[in-house]
Amino acid sequence: MNTAPIRATIRFTFALPDPDPVTQSDYFRAAREMVHWGDKRGLNFVSVDEHHATGFGWSPNPILEAGMILAGTEKVRAIAGAALAPLWNPVRLAEDIAVVDQMTQGRLITHFGLGYRPIEYAAMGKNFKRRGRLMDEFLDVLLKAWTGEPFEHNGELVAISPRPYTQPHPTV
């Protein structure tokens, strides 16, 4: 008899044709309920994505969604994949991930991506042609922020709070 653990993942994009607020709310709540049900039955992972300016309700904030979905669960882990790093403020995202990391005791895994849609960069006021450099800068700031030590950012000395639960940093 095979006693290997079952590996199961649910992926949510929340993409809907012609999304209305009531239907989207139902989808978000149903996703949370499905994960809570699965958490008691051996679900390993839930995955959420990030896209902007799609016009069809795609998931815009995988860190927030992962945190809300994981609230009240005990074992399942969430994959925010891929958070479009160059579109985020790195200090803010370091704090957001640290909060979810604290609340879930390290059950958030974040994949970072560059993105491939120029419209997303335009919508966020970022230069699509600089996305590689933006990613490098983002990762540098993020890793400094998670040390808990003050560091220089935009000419100011900053430190984030809370520090992440997972050391030396949340799983990325």
For residue 81, the model assigns a pLDDT of 86
Which residues are bridge partners to 83 per DSSP?
Answer: 112
Distance (Å, whole) CA 131 – CA 51: 15
Q: Could you tell me which of 69, 75, 80 has the C-alpha nearest to residue 39?
A: 75
In the structure encoding, which two tokens stand for residue 115, read together?
A: 């993105």
78 with 109: CB under 8 angstroms?
yes
pLDDT value for 112: 96
Residue 74: which pLDDT band, with cuts at 50, 70 and 90? very high
User: Of 138, 167, 168, which is closest to residue 153 (Cα–Cα)?
Assistant: 138
Instruction: Give CA separation, 32 vs 11, 24, 51, in Å.
Output: 12, 13, 20
6 has a pLDDT exceeding 70: no
Residue-wise pLDDT for 8-64, tens only, equals: 899 999 888 877 899 989 999 999 999 999 999 999 999 999 999 888 888 899 999
Model confidence at 5: pLDDT above 80: no
Residue 129's pLDDT is 97
Residue 2 has pLDDT above 70, yes or no: no
User: Per-residue pLDDT tens for 101-151?
Assistant: 999 999 999 999 999 999 999 999 999 999 999 999 999 999 999 999 999
Q: What is the pLDDT of residue 146?
A: 97
CA distance 111 to 83: 6
**pLDDT score at 106:** 97
The answer to whether the beta carbons of residues 110 and 138 sit under 8 Å apart is no
Q: Which residue(s) pair with 84 in the sheet? A: 113
The DSSP symbol for 63 reads H
Per-residue H/E/C for 4-45: CCCCCEEEECCCCCCCCHHHHHHHHHHHHHHHHHHHCCCCCE
What pLDDT sits at residue 79?
96
**pTM for the structure as a whole:** 0.91
